[in-house]
Amino acid sequence: MRQLIYPMKEQYEEFLIDESKFTGFADSISFPESEEEIQEVLRVLKNENVPVTIQGGKTGITGAAVPEGGHVMNLSHMDKVKSSVLLEDGTGRITVEPGINRIDLDKEIAAAFRRNPQFWPPDPTETSATVGGIAATGAQGISRLLYGSSRKYIESVRLVDVDGHVITAGREEKLTLPSGRVIDWIDAVLGKEGITGVISELTLKLLPKPESVWGIAFFFCKTAEAGRFVDMLRQDLPECENAAIAAVEYIDREAIGQIEKHKNVMTKIKELPDVGEGIEGMVYIELHGVEEEIEMLAESLMESAMVCGSNPDEAWAVSGEADVERLHAFRHGAAETANLYIEEARRNDARITKLGTDMAVSDMPFSEVLANVKEDLEDVGLRGCVFGHAMENHLHVNILPDDYDDYVKGISLIRKWVSEVREHHGQIVLEHGIGKLKRRILDGLLPEQHVKLCGELKAELDAGNVWNRGNITGGKADRV
């Protein structure tokens, strides 16, 4: 068998960090190319009781794939399609290795289902995210509004456990925990950030591609106007039988500014016009379905946006996959450039990491949530870009610190917001996970039920705390 485990040298430095910019350390690394190679690596490491950190594309934003000692098992070389099939109900299934990334998955699906085009709905917009990473973090993305959670589109997974045994984890198979609680096996894996084992294969549920896709970006001169527009949609979302609103995303002025700063080097969006300086907020809407009915929805949206002060002549409205992808990429740019900002800030102070929220309260108008966030940022004198899934009040506020003092202030502000969201019975971890970074930043404020379940799963499936030490439940790894 070929050499599988390599000592951690400078050439592997990029595997000690993820997109949160949280950094770690490790002694060795492997890039298995098959389930058998995963098992072989585990066999060797087990003799020495080495902790293992699992990695996909390292696009995670909570440090969950960052090692704190031990071994890094990077799955990006396991990127093949195993099989695909079209079912009688018109939906497809594709079985893939975990390291296939979002962009290659799309290409493989297009090739496999040429006559009956299909797609996989979970879309965290970052195309280098792997399917294994999406499953392990429970990443969702912008069209969760229409299609629901990523869990719905993962039928089963193969999981290699700490002893190298392979378990097929689906919805039929049940797992009884020491507390007596019974869960679907798949829920011991999805969203558990790799603390229960390595996903070595996934069977994904696909849907027929919508006949047509449109993207519309509405611009507002005042934050409150954008807020009011979303409030109107939250109260009464236009509906049609054969078309639907798939995403409603908010992007604020600060995020637009960050995108425009980097626009020239972002291939997909560099041809888009500049956003006028007087614009304080943008609402990006994606529509999927039958062309004529999309047109009806679009008209209704235009009217509502106009009532709220948006000039329809200034809206960007496009149809067709290629053009919609450019607007989609603009929205993605909000997250990407916030991460770039942190990368730059770290050049002055390496203690700085990403500080972003993943919270939602359902019982407040969006305009109020937005106004509160903006006011708080101003009160404490911090810059932050605000974007996210507006219909669900699910905002990602990214603090943009000038220096370490700002960073510390940012942590306090995020803790304050999280406390408030908890008081409103909202959610504080929705799609990014907890990893190692949020476990530290949100110490004492993490969702108890979820952490408790993860603790039980750890005790049952990985009592030696081999997998992804430090994620969610803690247990800091020692240097070995």
Ligand X SMILES: Cc1cc2nc3c(=O)[nH]c(=O)nc-3n(C[C@H](O)[C@H](O)[C@H](O)COP(=O)(O)OP(=O)(O)OC[C@H]3O[C@@H](n4cnc5c(N)ncnc54)[C@H](O)[C@@H]3O)c2cc1C
Q: Which H or E run includes 206?
A: none
In this structure, what token pair is assigned to residue 445? 């404020």
Q: How many residues does the chain have?
A: 480
Residues 175, 182: contact at Cβ < 8 Å?
yes
Minimum separation from the CB atom of position 122 to ligand X (A): 8
Minimum separation from the CB atom of position 159 to ligand X (A): 8
259 binds ligand X (CB under 6 A): no
Nearest CB to ligand X, comparing residues 305 and 472: 472
Nearest CB to ligand X, comparing residues 225 and 431: 431
Q: Which H or E run includes 30?
A: strand 28-30
Q: Distance of CA 269 to CAs 51, 128, 307, Å? A: 42, 18, 29
465 binds ligand X (CB under 6 A): no
| Contact code string over 202-231 relative to ligand X, x by CB under 6 A | ------------------------------
Measured between alpha carbons, how far is 304 from 342 in angstroms, rounded to an integer? 36
Torsion of CA 231, 236, 240, 245, to 10 degrees: 20
The single residue among 18, 225, 252, 254 that binds ligand X, judged by CB under 6 A, is 18
Nearest CB to ligand X, comparing residues 130 and 223: 130
Measured between alpha carbons, how far is 383 from 406 in angstroms, rounded to an integer? 9
The single residue among 17, 45, 52, 64 that binds ligand X, judged by CB under 6 A, is 64
Contact positions with ligand X (CB under 6 A) in 34-63: 54-61
User: How many Cα atoms sit within 13 Å of 287 on the Cβ side?
Assistant: 29
69 binds ligand X (CB under 6 A): no
Nearest CB to ligand X, comparing residues 255 and 373: 255
Burial of 254 (0-12, 13-18, 19+ CB in 10 A): buried
398 binds ligand X (CB under 6 A): no
The single residue among 132, 191, 356, 401 that binds ligand X, judged by CB under 6 A, is 132
Nearest CB to ligand X, comparing residues 137 and 465: 137
Minimum separation from the CB atom of position 5 to ligand X (A): 18
Tell me the residue type at 271. E
Measured between alpha carbons, how far is 355 from 384 in angstroms, rounded to an integer? 10
436 binds ligand X (CB under 6 A): no
Residues 151, 190: contact at Cβ < 8 Å?
yes
Minimum separation from the CB atom of position 366 to ligand X (A): 17
Contact positions with ligand X (CB under 6 A) in 134-193: 134, 136-137, 139-141, 193
Nearest CB to ligand X, comparing residues 125 and 223: 125
98 binds ligand X (CB under 6 A): yes
Strands 394-399 and 281-289: unpaired
Minimum separation from the CB atom of position 165 to ligand X (A): 15
DSSP-assigned letters across all residues of 31-80: ---SHHHHHHHHHHHHHTT--EEEESSS--SSSTT--BSSEEEE-TT---
Residue nearest to ligand X (CB): 133
Stretch that binds ligand X, among 123-131, 170-178, 237-245, 281-289 (CB under 6 A): 123-131
Determine the 3-state secondary structure of 302 from DSSP.
helix
Contacts of 102 (CB under 8 A, 6+ apart): 123, 124, 126, 127, 128, 129, 130, 131, 134
Minimum separation from the CB atom of position 1 to ligand X (A): 21
470 binds ligand X (CB under 6 A): no
Nearest CB to ligand X, comparing residues 139 and 245: 139
| Contact code string over 303-342 relative to ligand X, x by CB under 6 A | --------------------------------xx--x---
Q: Quote the DSSP letter at residue 312.
A: G
| Contact code string over 339-358 relative to ligand X, x by CB under 6 A | x-------------------
Nearest to 22 by CA among 337, 333, 338, 342: 342
The single residue among 41, 94, 129, 279 that binds ligand X, judged by CB under 6 A, is 129
Nearest CB to ligand X, comparing residues 354 and 374: 354
Nearest CB to ligand X, comparing residues 51 and 141: 141
Q: In what order do the strands lie in the sheet with 71-74?
A: 5-7, 28-30, 71-74, 52-55
Nearest CB to ligand X, comparing residues 84 and 337: 337
Integer distance in angstroms from the first to the last C-alpha of the chain?
A: 25
Phi, psi angles (nearest 5°) of residue 316: -95, 120
67 binds ligand X (CB under 6 A): no
Residues touching ligand X, count (CB under 6 A): 38
Residues 21, 352: contact at Cβ < 8 Å?
yes
473 binds ligand X (CB under 6 A): no
Nearest CB to ligand X, comparing residues 149 and 242: 149
Beta bridge partners of 467: 52
Nearest CB to ligand X, comparing residues 418 and 472: 472
Burial of 163 (0-12, 13-18, 19+ CB in 10 A): exposed
Positions touching ligand X (CB under 6 A) are: 18-19, 54-61, 64-65, 75, 98, 124-126, 129-130, 132-134, 136-137, 139-141, 193-194, 198-199, 335-336, 339, 431-432, 468, 471
